[in-house]
Amino acid sequence: MVHLLSNLLVGLALAPSALGATLLVSHFSGPVYTLSLTTSGTTGKLSITSQASGCGTTPAWLEYYNDTKTAYCFDESWTGSGVITQYNVGSDGRLTQSGQTRTSGNTVHGKVYGGSDGKGFIATAQYSPSTITTYKLPLGQGQVQLEKFTMSQRGPNSRQDVPHPHETQLDPTGKFMLVPDLGADLIRIFKIDASTGRLTACPAGQASPGDGPRHAQWWKSADGVLRLYTLNELGNSVSSWNVVYPTDSNGCLALSRAQTLSTYAPGKKGGPTTKAAEIRVAGNFLYASNRADQTFGSNQDSVAIYTIDSQTGAIAWKEAANSYSYYPRTFDINKDGTLVAFGGQTSSNVAIVSRDPATGKLGNLVANLQVGNKGRAGEEDGLSAIVWVE
């Protein structure tokens, strides 16, 4: 009876919080779409309300900042030239291009940082050139810094031929930039000069050989315990990291790995083509998506769910849930924690799934929509990124 009541309350909370919700979705073929979600009870409907161009040939990542109603789109063009495009986001979610700069291409992620307001610069990661590049904002003022990475020998995985930075992630204080490097098995750490935007390298966090860290998320306990969690694409795993801040302003943030758990239940593992993709934290729960495991049937991959100890930050396996998508490269949890939007890269669909904030469990499929053309398994096509506009 208690379980039924909990489900009912979650269902009742779903309608007002999701009514009129807006999402942005990028597609590797070029467009960036605005989607509208409307709900009635525990079911809903997705529709495309507008479409924007301008993010080059291969949009790969979206960053949305609600305080300025601004979105940045990063072009993963493999032709040696790409763009970063800034959009103003209207009250209806419609995108209006408001800035752009040329890049060297192959950008897979970006993050705003520094300046007097935390939005003075933007840092980007380039996968194959093994570089991170920073630019002054607003876009068009030129490049600030280019850092190229090298390594002395190949890693144990065939994809670890050179360094492959995959994300630029800020720490909670905004004073450090972290860069998960899939090729070098490192979490690179940089100290930020907020006034100039310059990044100074610190000693990196060392992942296990063959992990291939891709993305990272932060968690903080009520008592102030801070943990970093990374998703390891090549190892199909997630890692928990202890975080130590410097005692003086000239020091560096330091990381030490505490745990690594599989993105599959104990005793199970993915197949030869499975690749972990994205990681999110909501409350005391951690989520990691798996690509190409089809755990829940044809073209329906899994998302791993872990509990986070509320005092220590230690993680433990909870269960696998259905992402209702194939190759879920991207997913995002809405602000009140009641909905998860999965973006299936190969299925090119957006699946909205209910979530119970109290238990962390994922529930029914609320709405589903194909956006753009479907991709090909293992190829850089189909849907690429998804964010809630809130």
Per-residue pLDDT, averaged over 319-339, amounts to 98
Q: Which residues pair with 187 in a beta bridge?
A: 180, 205
Asked whether residue 221 carries a pLDDT value surpassing 70, the answer given is: yes
Containing domain of residue 380, as a range? 2-388
How many separate domains does the chain show? 1
- Token pair in block for residue 381: 């096509």
Name which of 21-30, 264-273, 336-345 the model is least confident about.
264-273
pLDDT, average across residues 261-273: 94
Average pLDDT estimate for 110-136:
98
Contacts of 351 (CB under 8 A, 6+ apart): 323, 324, 325, 341, 342, 344, 365, 367, 368
Q: Is the separation of the CB atoms in 252 and 246 below 8 Å?
A: yes
C-alpha–C-alpha distance, residues 136 and 313, integer Å? 36
Q: How confident is the model at residue 35 (pLDDT cuts 50, 70, 90)?
A: very high
Indicate whether 327 pLDDT > 90. yes
Summarised one tens digit per residue, pLDDT across range 138-170 is 999 999 999 999 999 999 999 999 999 999 999
- Residue 19: the pLDDT is 58
- Entry field: residues in the chain: 390
Strands 275-282 and 254-262: unpaired
Residue 115: pLDDT band by 50, 70, 90 thresholds?
very high
How far is CA 278 from its chain centroid?
Answer: 5
Q: What is the pLDDT of residues 333-358, one digit of tens each?
A: 999 999 999 999 999 999 999 999 99
What is the reported pLDDT for 14? Answer: 42
Q: Is the pLDDT of residue 79 over 80?
A: yes
Nearest by Cα to 386 from 356, 353, 351: 351
Which pLDDT score is estimated for 378? 84
Least confident of 11-25, 55-69, 231-245: 11-25
pLDDT over threshold 90, residue 246? yes
The model carries a pTM of 0.94
**pLDDT above 80 (res 10):** no
Residue 7 backbone dihedrals phi, psi, to 5 degrees: -65, -40
pLDDT of residue 380: 87
> What are 111's two structure tokens?
């993050």
CATH of the domain at 48: 2.130.10.10
Return all residues near 46 (Cβ < 8 A) that are at least 6 apart: 35, 36, 37, 350, 352, 367, 368, 369
Q: How far is CA 180 from CA 102, 150, 194, 348, in A?
A: 24, 14, 21, 26
Amino acid letter, 163: P
Q: What is the mean pLDDT of residues 221-230?
A: 97
pLDDT of residue 118: 97
Rounded Cα distance between 129 and 107, Å, is 9
